[in-house]
Structure 1
Amino acid sequence: MFQFQKEQKVCEIGGVKFGGQPGDYATVVCNSIFQKGDKIFPGKRKDGFDEKKAAGLLKTQDRLTEETGIPGMADIVANTGAEFKTFIDFVVANTDMPFCIDAWTLKPKLEAAAYCAEKGLLDRMFYNSITVWEQDLDTEITEMVKIGVKNVLLVAFDQDDQMPTGRITGTQKLLDAIEKNGAKFENVFVDTSVMNGPATALCGIANRMIKEKWGLPTGSAPSNGSYMWKEAREKWGFKGWAAADAALESLAAFMNHDIIFSGPMVGAERIMPAIAMSNAFQATAVFSETGRLPKDSNHPLFKLFPDFVENIKNIESSKK
């Protein structure tokens, strides 16, 4: 359960490592900022954002990374290239964490990637994303190669097969398109497309299949499921919904997720401790089954439960 026969790729973006065998590295939490409805916009989006509030979100996420051992990433959401320039400049001025450029349409994503190349930020930048539903995939990949994009997320899905096998079909389609266009990205990740909360389990299973087939780092956006579940807020209020959200993110972290897109950054104080516990839980299970401890000395198991680690190491040693 906790060891893949296929060699697992370990990727690094902005000093943060992803991938490897289960339990080797902490799950990276990518929280969005500047998305539609973000409360850092006090009025209309075009009128600007509250810089103090936005900086506070980034600093809180950095603090939680230090406290929990869970690496943070900023998913910068924008509608135009001009917006991206403003938002990227702000993020890099306030934090050293890696970041995604995230837009629904092709033009602003490519403009943002080109701006990152101009500013020498491609090592920190994660292209979010190339998708199976992009109408001009060849053009997108060709332009990404010209810009020099290094890190890319593939969003894999098959509308005709919504089971895990469909995510494999989608991944293959995107990998074929990359190969066809002669692209050789340094780091390729696969997002297996959450449809609702329970369906995140299908993502976890698909992620395992992808790891067994290609050894690539995998993830998904469980928040797509929890934030769409409006009935939970109606039945149990914010606290009940927040508990369900944290549970869903934690379950996903345990189940073959190297990265989780966990929704608005304002939720970091809820999500990052929950995933830290999930990662410590997973690493303990891995140790029980394989005798392996995390490769990252900053892993939540070491950071939050050092006495317990020494205890299980002594127990294991006494058996030999």
Structure 2
Amino acid sequence: MFKFDKKQEVFDIGGIKFGGQPGQYPTILVGSMFYNRHNIVTDEDKGTFDKEAAEKLWDSMIEMRDITGNPCVNQIVGETPEAIKNYIDWFIEYDDKTPFLIDSSAGEVRAAAADYVTEIGVAERAIYNSINASIHDDEIEAVKRSDINASIVLAFNAVDPTVNGKLEILEVGGAGHSKGMLDIAKECGITKPLIDVAATPLGAGSGASMRAVIAVKGHLGLPVGGGYHNLASAWDWMKDYKKQFETKEQRKAVYMPADIGTNLVPQTLGSNFQLFGPIENTPLVYPATAMVDIILAETAKELGLEIMDENHPVNQLV
């Protein structure tokens, strides 16, 4: 356990603090809703879904937030502009405070969401996901004209998955861009960049993804996180290993320790936020995350650092 010599930035987004030295602030957990083939969605194009089921899922995350002290963020995923607008409408009506990610596999959907959150006056709660090497000019223009000031900035370098490659894509550019992703973010009006270290599968740069947590915080001092669960979900050996178990419950019991573990490793290295995947995993992810946060907080105190959140797990659960 350690602290960084570099000053660590802390950004307030919707009342949640992103960043800081390891252990000072509780780790932020980001659960995904309305993702591809999410069973609560009945029409992905129109954004029709079971509202009662969605409310129960979100309530479970709020409950675990209150129990542990680990803040939560909703990752809202949409397949079409109509769908993501419907999801946003539901969320801001049901929860009038918590931040949310606007996410989609399609740039035009993300752009439409950026316009929409500005139009309805909730851009201060929205986190764009993401500014990355695949971003197109029309998407850049949408973020520029929006009121959004927080965004995930993805450190994915398709040519060089090493730590140096990740830093290069952030600061210098590549993949058709003459500017680094951080410069593009700044030009878009993003004053609260959250660096996603772009977790890659085991055997394809996963070690660099972990090292990048330290490198980015040590070099840039910015909040860092990622969708680390992708390491486990893309693990071919695990996919085959699970098949020998007969029931869905058995296969999940075998898989989830690896899934949760992918978040805990970078957390010990200073990761500030975790995009842990399906919101259904909330009851499993939260206790493990809170446990590591307590360890980090105890270490931070020994290193002379102040715990900056009275609701930190070290104050809630010990």
TM-score using structure 2 length: 0.88
- Tell me, yes or no, if the aligned pair for 1:283 and 1:301 is still in contact at 8 Å: yes
* Partner in structure 1 of residue 98 of structure 2: 97
Q: 1:27 to 1:197 in 2, by over 3 A?
A: farther
Over 3 Å counting, the alpha-carbon distance change for 1:177 and 1:29 in structure 2 is closer
Q: CA deviation at 1:213?
A: 1.7
Distance 2:240 2:301 in 1: 39
Aligned residue for 1:210?
Answer: 216
Q: Which residue identity lines up with residue 61 of structure 2 in the other structure?
A: Q
C-alpha displacement of 1:281: 1.4
Q: Which one of 196, 199, 203 corresponds to residue 194 of structure 1?
A: 199
Distance 1:178 1:222, change over 3 A: closer
For residue 294 of structure 1, the aligned residue among 307, 312, 315 is 307
Q: Report the equivalent of 2:167.
A: 168
Per-residue deviation, residues 21-53 of structure 1 (Å, max 9, x unmatched): 111111111110000121212x45357211111
Q: What is the rounded CA distance, in whole Å, between the counterparts of 2:27 and 2:206 in structure 1? A: 16
Measured in 1, the distance between the counterparts of 2:276 and 2:242 equals: 17
Q: Deviations over 1:95-143 (max 9, x none)?
A: 2321000012221111111111111111110000011133x2x443333
Hey, what does 1:179 align to over in structure 2?
183
Cα deviation per residue 1:196-251 (whole Å; 9 max; x = unaligned)? Answer: 25754422311211112211111111111222232353356210111221122222
1:90 Cα deviation (Å)? 0.9
Name the residue aligned to 2:146. Answer: 147
Is the helix fraction higher in 1 or 2?
1
> What one-letter code is carried by the residue in structure 1 that aligns with 2:129?
N
- Where does residue 176 of structure 2 map in the other structure? none
Say which SS state the counterpart of residue 93 (structure 1) adopts: helix
Q: Is the 8 A contact 1:151 1:186 kept in 2?
A: yes
Q: Distance in 2 between matches of 1:101 and 1:179?
A: 21
Q: Does 1:16 align with 2:11?
A: no
- Hey, what's the Cα distance between the residues in 2 that align with 1:58 and 1:118? 25
- The question of whether the paired residues in 2 share the 8 Å contact of 1:18 and 1:217 is answered with yes
User: Quick one: distance in 2 between partners of 1:46 and 1:118?
Assistant: 21
Separation in 1, partners of 2:208, 2:258? 18
Query: Which residue is equivalent to 1:303?
Result: 316
Whether the 8 Å contact between 1:200 and 1:222 is mirrored in structure 2 is: no
CA contact (8 A) 2:294 2:313 kept: yes
CA distance in 1, matches of 2:220, 2:291: 28
Distance 2:182 2:228 in 1: 26
Q: Structure 1 residues 235 and 171 mapped into 2: Cα distance closer, same or farther (>3 Å)? A: farther
In the aligned structure 1, how far is the partner of 2:221 from the partner of 2:147? 23
Post-superposition offset of 1:178: 5.2
The one-letter amino acid paired with 1:130 is: I
Letter in 1 for 2:72: G
With over 3 angstroms needed to count, the CA separation of the structure-2 counterparts of 1:217 and 1:195, relative to structure 1, is: same
The one-letter code sitting in structure 1 at the alignment partner of 2:11 is: C
Note if contact 1:156-1:191 (Cα within 8 Å) is conserved in structure 2: yes
2:193 and 2:117 map into 1 onto residues whose CA distance is: 18
SS, match of residue 210 in structure 1: helix
Residue 45 of structure 1 corresponds to which residue in structure 2?
A: 44
Counterpart of 2:285?
271
Contact map agreement 1:286 1:293 (CA 8 A) in 2: yes
Task: Find the aligned partners of 1:232 and 1:21 in 2 and give their Cα distance.
Answer: 38
Match of residue 130 from structure 2: 129
Paired residue secondary structure (2:49): coil
SS at match of 2:123: coil
76 and 287 in structure 1: CA distance in 2 versus 1, 3 angstrom threshold: same
- Judging changes above 3 Å, is the alpha-carbon distance between structure 1 residues 161 and 234 closer, same or farther for their aligned structure 2 residues? same
2:87 alignment partner AA = F
Does the alignment pair 1:156 with 2:155? yes
Gaps of 5+ in 2: 174-178, 246-250
Structure 2: distance between partners of 1:153 and 1:19? 13
Query: For the residues of structure 2 that align with 1:173 and 1:279, how far apart are their CA atoms?
Result: 33
Q: Does 1:221 align with 2:227?
A: yes
Shift in Å at residue 156 of structure 1? 1.1
Distance 2:181 2:150 in 1: 16
What CA deviation, in whole Å up to 9, does each residue of 1:151-207 have, x standing for no partner?
A: 011111222222211111121146735536734322001111111257544223112
What secondary structure, in the 3-state scheme, does the structure 2 residue paired with 1:222 have? coil
Cα pair 1:69 1:299 within 8 Å, conserved: yes
1:231 aligns with 2:235: no
